[in-house]
Chain A
Amino acid sequence: EAGVAQSPRYKIIEKRQSVAFWCNPISGHATLYWYQQILGQGPKLLIQFQNNGVVDDSQLPKDRFSAERLKGVDSTLKIQPAKLEDSAVYLCASSFQGVGQETQYFGPGTRLLVL
């Protein structure tokens, strides 16, 4: 079974530029999560999708971050314009239904450096 795929793995941009990250979850997983992990901290949930609907985006900085999950499969997370404090690892995860004891399976992450 293929795992969660993310691209790119690394990205360096200058502040005020825009950037997009892509995630392909495990086949059949209805729930998809985007996390931001700043160096030295645990992952923080940015947005959670159930199929192609948003379940939780309470911690997503909506003035600069946006995410979509068209057709309930792949997802894209965008930052526009980027700030220095956006430098972090962006982790995508998926789970079957997103409830109870279900395990979240994580992708390798995208390391973003904003200069």
Chain B
Amino acid sequence: AQKITQTQPGMFVQEKEAVTLDCTYDTSDQSYGLFWYKQPSSGEMIFLIYQGSYDEQNATEGRYSLNFQKARKSANLVISASQLGDSAMYFCAMRVTNAGKSTFGDGTTLTVKP
């Protein structure tokens, strides 16, 4: 069984600063993918970034980067130059490659202060 742990229920960051949201995972599978989603108050889940278990380089997408440490089973999301619009819930998820099913963590609420 797969498990995702997000230990930070809430985080605050000053506008224009960088913030790291933590995610650790547990799986016995060797081939898997890690995802981060943003969920604003409107409720829709928005895909941010993906990291494959065999990817050697950390994924980056604009202001988002994923700090992937396979040996520690962590996949932290780094948001650079925070904006007020980044205030939302952030979910880390994992999918075992051949299974299709995604397992989500319980999320971190990020609040960006002006």
Contact = CB atoms under 8 A, between A and B. Distances in A.
A108 B100 contact: no
A102 B97 CA distance: 10
* Most chain B CB inside 10 Å of its own CB: which residue of A40, A43, A48, A50: A43
A2 interface: no
Interface stretch (B11-19, B44-52, B64-72, B75-83): B44-52
Interface string A78-101: 000000000001010100001111
A31 B100 contact: yes
Interface residues of A, number: 27
Contact of A104 (B43, B52, B99, B102): B102
A93 B52 CA distance: 20
Contacts of A40: 106
Contacts of A91: 45
A64 to B, nearest CB: 21
Contact of B91 (A43, A100, A101): A43
A107 interface: yes
B44 A109 contact: yes
A56 B101 CA distance: 8
A60 B33 CA distance: 24
Contacts of A100: 33, 52, 97
B42 interface: yes
A48 B43 contact: no
Interface in B1-15: 4
Interface in B35-63: 35, 37, 42-47, 50, 52
A59 B30 CA distance: 24
Given A44-B104, A99-B97, 9 more contacts: A42-B106, A45-B101, A56-B99, A99-B100, A101-B33, A103-B35, A104-B45, A105-B47, A108-B44
**5 closest Cβ pairs, A-B complex:** A42-B104, A106-B45, A98-B100, A109-B43, A103-B47
25 contacts: A31-B100, A40-B106, A41-B106, A42-B4, A42-B106, A42-B107, A43-B45, A43-B91, A43-B104, A50-B100, A55-B100, A56-B99, A56-B100, A93-B45, A99-B98, A100-B33, A100-B52, A100-B97, A101-B52, A104-B35, A104-B45, A104-B47, A106-B46, A108-B44, A111-B43
